[in-house]
Amino acid sequence: MAQFLIVEARFYAHLNDQLIDGARRALEAKGHSVEVLTVPGALEIPGAIALAAESGRYDGFVGIGAVIRGETYHFEIVAGESARGIMALTMDGIAIGNGILTVENEAQAQVRADPAQKNKGGEAAEAAMALLALRDKFA
Ligand SMILES: Nc1c(NC[C@H](O)[C@H](O)[C@H](O)CO)[nH]c(=O)[nH]c1=O
Ligand SMILES: CC(=O)[C@@H](O)COP(=O)(O)O
């Protein structure tokens, strides 16, 4: 059993509840322990994971959130930089699945958050477990 930390950016609570449900189901189905930490937005997810990883208390991480395009360039920053930050941490050997939706509208977000539809939370959890298995394989 491994210890996983879900770091959620609770910008859209109703979407996060579904994404976390999907991630939690995937992790617990494989017997892993799950904890949830909440940050303000997606831009804070990589930093929070870096801090939590330093504690040594967790084996893997899942970033959860939703970035929905608004009127300004800010969407590109939040979507791109949160993904870049997570990618940089995975390249440092931290097992992270990226479950941050980056979508044009609420309808697209809902389909992807729903565990019974595209289940992007569960997909991110599976990715985190796959990276953890690789880290153990090559350790
Ligand atoms: N617009 C969205 C944000 N914006 C907030 C940023 O993530 C960040 O918290 C702020 O810029 C302060 O550093 N966050 C989301 O998760 N989703 C959005 O749609
Ligand atoms: C993704 C965002 O930052 C967005 O929700 C903010 O909306 P806006 O670009 O209209 O300020």
Task: Please name the residue that has the structure tokens 């990226």.
Answer: 98
Q: Where are the domains of the chain?
A: 3-138
**What residues are annotated to the active site?**
74
Distance CA 54, CA 60 (A): 12
Pick the CATH number of 3-138 from 2.30.30.60, 3.40.50.960, 1.10.3720.10, 1.10.1200.10: 3.40.50.960
pLDDT of residue 117: 98
Instruction: Name the region of 36 (left: φ>0; alpha: ψ -120 to 50; beta: rest).
Output: beta
Ligand 2 pocket check for 43: Cβ under 6 Å: no
**44 appears as a binding residue in the annotation:** yes
Model confidence pLDDT, tens digit, residues 91-108: 999 999 999 999 999 999
Predicted local distance difference test score (pLDDT) of residue 107: 98
Mean pLDDT by 10 residues, the chain (139 residues): 98 98 98 98 98 98 98 98 98 98 98 98 98 96
Whose alpha carbon is nearest atom 19 of ligand 1? 67
- Distance (angstroms) between ligand 2 centre and the Cα of 69 equals 6
Q: Which of 130, 131, 64, 139 is closest to 94 using CA atoms?
A: 131
- Residue 86 CA, distance from chain mean position: 9
User: Which residue's C-alpha comes closest to atom 1 of ligand 2?
Assistant: 75
Tell me 11's DSSP state. T
Q: Does the interface predicted TM-score (ipTM) exceed 0.90?
A: yes
Q: What's the pLDDT score for residue 21?
A: 98
94 burial (CB, 10 Å; 0-12 / 13-18 / 19+) is buried
